[in-house]
A and B are shown apart, each in its own frame.
Chain A
Amino acid sequence: MTTTSELATTAATEPRKRVKLWLAIGGLLFGLILGAVLLLATGVWRLGPPQLHGFVMQSPHPVANFTLMGAEGKAVSLRDFRGQVVLLYFGYTYCPDVCPATLVELKQAVQALDKDAAEVQMIMVSVDPERDTPESLQEYVSYFHPSFIGLTGTESEVLAAATPLGVFFEKSEGTAATGYLIDHTATVLLIDKKGYLRLVYPFGITGAEIAADLQYIIKN
């Protein structure tokens, strides 16, 4: 009863106030919605997981293990890095352009992680086992970042590791100065802490993009 009369009084005696109130509420809602849309559009707010930069994989099985040779002839398996996010790259030390460019980006990705860097292990597998010794390979990758490791093996062992990961490699002619070159797939593979292939990066990805994905993958 009281309420009805209240409303009636308000509506009858103060129509302007009511209009103002509606305008205020409308304005407020409009502002909130606009703000939310802007935040979502600019990516400050996120609904759900972030947009990752590589090609996302949903493999039902972990990556098949492989064992190769690390520095000082030590046997190193992919399995040893469960609990860490692995960035895997296939390259070689005589590589004139693509490999150093990629390793620089990977270095920047790891550096950008700051104290989370220990959660990530970068591994370069040599596709040129004929020329890359465990020592020269390790020296080469350490030059980019001290935490990076290099692995090599017989050509057959490297082939077994590379093929299922979509990596092809083949000797090709170079110049007298460079010696022979190796054509190889230049993707970077991201394997999560449980050993599943999660992302594949094409050549040309930046360190900042990889770092953004790593921050998400480390926590998830």
Chain B
Amino acid sequence: MTAVTPSTPQHTISLTTRLVRGLARWLWILPVLAFLALGYFIIARPIQVLPRITLSPGYLLFDQQGNRLTSEDMRGKITLYTFTHTACQPPCVATSPFLQTLQARLPELEPSDMPIEFVTISIDPERDTPEVLAAYARDLGADLETWHFVTGTPERLKWVIGGGFGVYYDRRDDGTLALDTAVMLVDWTGTLRAEYRRSLPDIEIVLRDLRLLQQELNNAEGAGRLAYEAAHLFACYPR
């Protein structure tokens, strides 16, 4: 064994170096941990959000009592939109019974300050006068506080349904109406968050999406907001 008589400062330096080296040897674990955490966040998606697809259209329409209803009235609420006409018969897919079922199941959701309302837009203003819409709503047992049956001028309807929501409808040469099936979910800021197209959605999926919106709203402040923004950034959408 060699005699070691180093001076004190050298001693300190060598110990410091050793400590730094020792730490450095384990430093790799930090990026690895961060990477694993990010991987977990993206793959396991502990937080799921609905995409902020685009703005839902602005509109001025009239309801079953002849009162005006605008897109501004639905600000601060979660709204589900459907498109129909009261004479809708197969192959036209009736979306109103779907909302009727959903209306009955809404109490299953957590109680929330954020109201959930429905807007059913008729593509046939000629036939679907306020009186006809009111009778239609009555037959459905609709809660008129939260379920609005509306229609408007053909031009406004065209820009709202076709231009805004991108839902196809048309009057065929024989006078019957063609209409694509669609349900649209819009949040409290007027942003389109989910579109269920082609066929009626599974009611469980719509309930899940409503829950996701409620959870996002409950976490709109503080650290929760950061986590939810990260979920948006990494497109943690439900499958």
Contacts and interface: CB of A to CB of B under 8 A. Distances in A.
A168 B8 CA distance: 80
Contacts of B15: 7, 10, 18, 21
Nearest to B70: A168
B59 A2 contact: no
A167 B11 CA distance: 74
A163 B53 contact: no
Contacts of A168: 58-60, 70-72
B191 interface: yes
A197 B55 CA distance: 9
Sort chain A's interface into a size bin. 35 or more
A220 interface: no
A112 interface: no
B43 interface: no
Interface residues of B, number: 39
Contacts of A197: 54-55
B4 A163 contact: no
A165 B55 contact: yes
Given A6-B11, A162-B58, A163-B59, A58 B4 contact: no
Contact of A2 (B4, B8, B53, B55): B4
Given A21-B16, A156-B155, A164-B55, A55 B189 contact: yes
A19 B214 CA distance: 53
Contacts of B52: 55-58
B238 interface: no
B159 interface: yes
B100 interface: no
B163 A166 contact: no
Contact of A6 (B4, B53, B155): B4
B130 interface: no
A164 B16 CA distance: 65
Contact of A166 (B51, B190, B229): B190
Nearest to A63: B54
B234 to A, nearest CB: 11
A179 interface: no
Contacts of B45: none
A165 B8 contact: no
Nearest to B189: A55
A10 to B, nearest CB: 6
Interface of A: 1-2, 5-7, 9-10, 14, 17-18, 21, 25, 48-49, 51, 55-61, 64, 156, 159-160, 162-170, 183, 185, 189, 197, 200, 202
16 contacts: A6-B6, A48-B230, A55-B52, A55-B189, A56-B232, A57-B54, A58-B52, A64-B163, A160-B159, A163-B163, A164-B163, A165-B55, A166-B190, A169-B60, A200-B189, A200-B191
Given A2-B2, A166-B190, 15 more contacts: A1-B1, A9-B11, A18-B15, A21-B15, A57-B54, A58-B51, A59-B54, A163-B159, A164-B55, A168-B70, A170-B68, A185-B58, A185-B72, A189-B55, A200-B55
A-B CB proximity, top 4 nearest: A168-B58, A166-B55, A163-B159, A167-B58
